[in-house]
Structure 1
Amino acid sequence: MIKKIQVSQIKNGMYIHDFNCGWLNHPFLTNSMLVDSDEIIKKVVDYGIRELYIDTNKGYDVADAPTEVEVKQQIEAEITKVVEQEKRHVYAPVPIHEEIAKAKEIRQEAKKTVQNIMDDIKFGKQIETEKVGRVVDDMIESIFRNQDALISLGRIKEKDEYTYMHSVSVCVLMLSFGKHLGFDLQILREIGAGAMLHDIGKMIVPQAVLNKEEGLTEEELKLMKKHVEYSRTLLEQTQGMTENAIVIASQHHERVDGTGYPLGLKGDDISYYSKAVAIVDVYDAMTSKRCYQDQYLPTEVLRKLYEWSSHHYDRDLVQQFIRCVGIYPVGTLVRMESGRIGVIIKHGEKNLLQPVVRVVYNMKSGDFLRIPYDVDLSSTSGKNGEDRIAGYESPKRFNIRPEVYL
């Protein structure tokens, strides 16, 4: 059985199932191991790990510790309450099916811009802030027309293009989050540039470390973490780069409890914008396929972010981010209680728990629909109403490309 314990409860003979943190937040080569020495316990404590999961079938138990299932159920109930509080009407001037083509063009241009900048860094060239500014402005305009178009495209990444597409996606998500938080246009431009260039220092990290598929050694971990300092230095040397953009690149791996890097800043010592980008950065990283990790479903990542907001992340910002993207982000595949499988194509205008779903598959018959149709889950009557989402489904399972149906 998998159980969650506090770090103070760990002892020799337990089997760690999951450190409950990212690869760069613990010094071990694997995410699971038998605790067979005091040295392991000391490392876990020294790295600031607060909570972790143990496998009681492989090691000692803690009788009163909650099970993984119980923890998930509690978090999901709390997230549902958070989302239910978001009752405002979100108006999109342009329908997603009209904006998606323009969004694809903007995404492609952003991809090319980031790729060129990263190549320039390798050859010691300066970052061209004008190009970054133009792409960020295009993204802002698209997001104000219909933010779901660019966000839904952000989940389409190949493993070998992760480094630069992650930068593009973090920028898109941060601009959308900033719009949700009410930032003005100038701030959106500044945080957009910082988000797009937050990982630019990775071009100075040895490629063998950057693209390693196994866990990193302690020395490799130190090299990887240096990308933050490299990013800060590069942006400080870039003409026209604002202080907000530089701070975002400098602080996106800091954590409110002081367990982040490079400076171990705490609480209000971390800028508000950096706290927000830290959330967006982890969300996009975990929902992406990487050289050392498969992607997680958005609902799983939101659950982990909420769990970690008890210590690593600003709780209010995490709750606001969940309200921004919704439990059911546009472009994700869901299963309904009726057995219908569909793609979320629009957030619920009055309730984020009741989005519009484009039905593409029927589990009862085992058939794809020749002509997909839309179900508005806020409707309480008619053949397309009176249904609820039962859970997420993996597109791989049904060989479905959700973006095709937007």
Structure 2
Amino acid sequence: MKENTASIKLSIDRLQVGVYIKIPVRWNAHPFMFNQFKITSDSQITLLRQAKIQHVYAIPSKSSANPLPVVEGEQQVVVDAVQDTTLLKNKLGDKEQQILAMQQHRRAIKECEKAYQNALGRVRSLTSKIQSRPLLAIEEAQVVMATMTKAILAKDDLILHLVGDDRDDMDSHQHAISVCMLSMMIGKKLGLSSQEISNLGTAGLLHDIGKLKIPSQFYTNKDVSSAKRKFVIEKHPEYSIEFINNVPSVNADVKRLIVEHHEFADGSGYPKGLKEDKLHPHSLIVSMVNMYEKLCYPYNEKKARTPSQSLSYLFSSQKALFNSRQLSAFVKSLGIYPPGTLVALNNGQTGIVITVNTAKLLAPSVMVFDEKVPRDEAAIIDLASESVTIESALSPRSVDKHIKDYLNPRSQLSFFIE
């Protein structure tokens, strides 16, 4: 159902807190970060006057208050606030700083995406070699992991980005990188050693290589019985170890993490149905991240959940499958609003969380929808330094299609750490 965005023209004198407005001038001709927003303070109305904006357009469907009535027979009194332009000058200065910060943020995201694409290329390269030259391929993976581990340990605060990379259902490389990154992030949160974090990353990167031995028909052919499909697919952890066993330099901990990445604490997993006390202490980290990723990006896209929904589902419905301390560390690492979460802001706008600083979980960076701004120029707001806050996470079903197309949450479910 299309959102009702009908608007009415109003003079500035009829504005009050709660009215959602559109400013009918160029973005660079006013002191606000957005062309449209809900008024949250009287000082915003003062700023409109000081900027010599005579009228705006109000959108009743997005407002929480009505415009002030026109008083018949009385001259509208305009407060001569424009004489003191200190507030306006300060706000314009703030906006300039915000624009510079936004440009810096875009550069950081581009650098992160460049690093991600580089890592993705290396993973694809080693995967293509795994069957013919397993020793070389897995040694390459260990070199990649050494670099990643060093980078992660060097940072006090981990910055988790969403990166724009459309996934192919049969392309497991993005999944491997996300499992690798998130597992290492949890390892750091838990205070694990450098070697243990590296083991988690290596296992995350290589956990599904056994699927290379499984013909694609078992994933795509509807004529294959579900029982046969289940039997064959559940062999992939053992197939992965068959590859790994060809490489003497891979340690025993990594091998266990890989073969146990579908095991659960209650013994309901596979291939051996082991309970937590029989598992490697960190196997459930990889298992948990693997499930989270598959909830976000299943083979059947119609069953996909948002990052926020996936995390909530793990915590509320799947606690018995995982280690409670590790699950808590995962939740604390991603926060209430994980990257990829669609959110409603308190200024009436809609955005998507694109970056989470693990030290400031309630104030992620959000890309904001504005139909007047091209998507590649969309405002990216660091909520840690803004008065704008998140009111709630949104279900994709509740968001208009044109807004979802702009924010594009489905094509951005790959994670990378800055």
User: Is TM-score (shorter-chain normalized) higher than 0.5?
Assistant: yes
Q: Is the 8 A contact 1:106 1:138 kept in 2?
A: no
Kindly state the Cα deviation for residue 329 of structure 1 after the two structures are TM-superposed: 2.1
Structure 1 residue ranges without an equivalent (≥5): 1-94
2:203 counterpart residue number: 194
1:152 counterpart residue number: 162
Kindly state the Cα deviation for residue 392 of structure 1 after the two structures are TM-superposed: 2.7
Write the mapping of 1:293-308 to structure 2, written as runs, cut at 5 A: 294-308=303-317
Match of 2:274 among 258, 265, 280: 265
1:130 counterpart residue number: 139
Structure 2 residue ranges without an equivalent (≥5): 1-103, 413-417
Q: Is the 8 A contact 2:129 2:137 kept in 1?
A: no
Q: Is the 8 A contact 2:218 2:224 kept in 1?
A: no
Kindly state the Cα deviation for residue 299 of structure 1 after the two structures are TM-superposed: 0.9
Structure with max Cα Rg: 2
1:390 counterpart residue number: 392
SS in 2 for 1:290: coil
Q: Is the 8 A contact 2:337 2:393 kept in 1?
A: no
Kindly state the Cα deviation for residue 313 of structure 1 after the two structures are TM-superposed: 1.7
Kindly state the Cα deviation for residue 196 of structure 1 after the two structures are TM-superposed: 0.4
Kindly state the Cα deviation for residue 193 of structure 1 after the two structures are TM-superposed: 1.0
1:276 counterpart residue number: 285
Write the mapping of 1:286-365 to structure 2, written as runs, cut at 5 A: 286-288=295-297, 290=299, 294-347=303-356, 352-361=361-370
Distance 2:336 2:248 in 1: 40
Distance 2:287 2:201 in 1: 13
CA 1:97/1:244 → structure 2, altered by over 3 Å: closer, same or farther?
A: farther
Q: Single out whichever of 221-230 and 392-401 deviates more from structure 2.
A: 392-401
Distance 1:105 1:378 in 2: 25
CA 1:126/1:345 → structure 2, altered by over 3 Å: closer, same or farther?
A: closer
Q: Is the 8 A contact 1:255 1:266 kept in 2?
A: yes
Q: Single out whichever of 368-377 and 114-123 deviates more from structure 2.
A: 368-377
- Does residue 169 of structure 1 match 2:178? yes
Kindly state the Cα deviation for residue 346 of structure 1 after the two structures are TM-superposed: 4.6
Q: Is the 8 A contact 1:335 1:393 kept in 2?
A: no
* Identity score, percent: 25
Distance 1:96 1:325 in 2: 19
CA 1:372/1:401 → structure 2, altered by over 3 Å: closer, same or farther?
A: closer
Kindly state the Cα deviation for residue 258 of structure 1 after the two structures are TM-superposed: 0.6
Distance 1:348 1:190 in 2: 24
Q: Choose between structure 1 and 2 for higher RCO, CA contacts under 8 A separated by at least 6 residues.
A: 2
Specify the code of the residue in structure 2 equivalent to 1:152. Answer: L
Kindly state the Cα deviation for residue 130 of structure 1 after the two structures are TM-superposed: 2.8
Q: How many residues get paired?
A: 302
Summarize deviations over 1:344-393 as a string: whole Å, max 9, x none.
355477652343434333xxxx65589755655567xxxx5264322235
TM-score by length of 2: 0.63
Give the RMSD, CA atoms, in angstroms. 3.3
SS in 1 for 2:189: helix
Summarize deviations over 1:100-134 as a string: whole Å, max 9, x none.
33432332233233323333344474453331122
Summarize deviations over 1:236-266 as a string: whole Å, max 9, x none.
2212111121011110101100100111100
Distance 1:387 1:116 in 2: 42
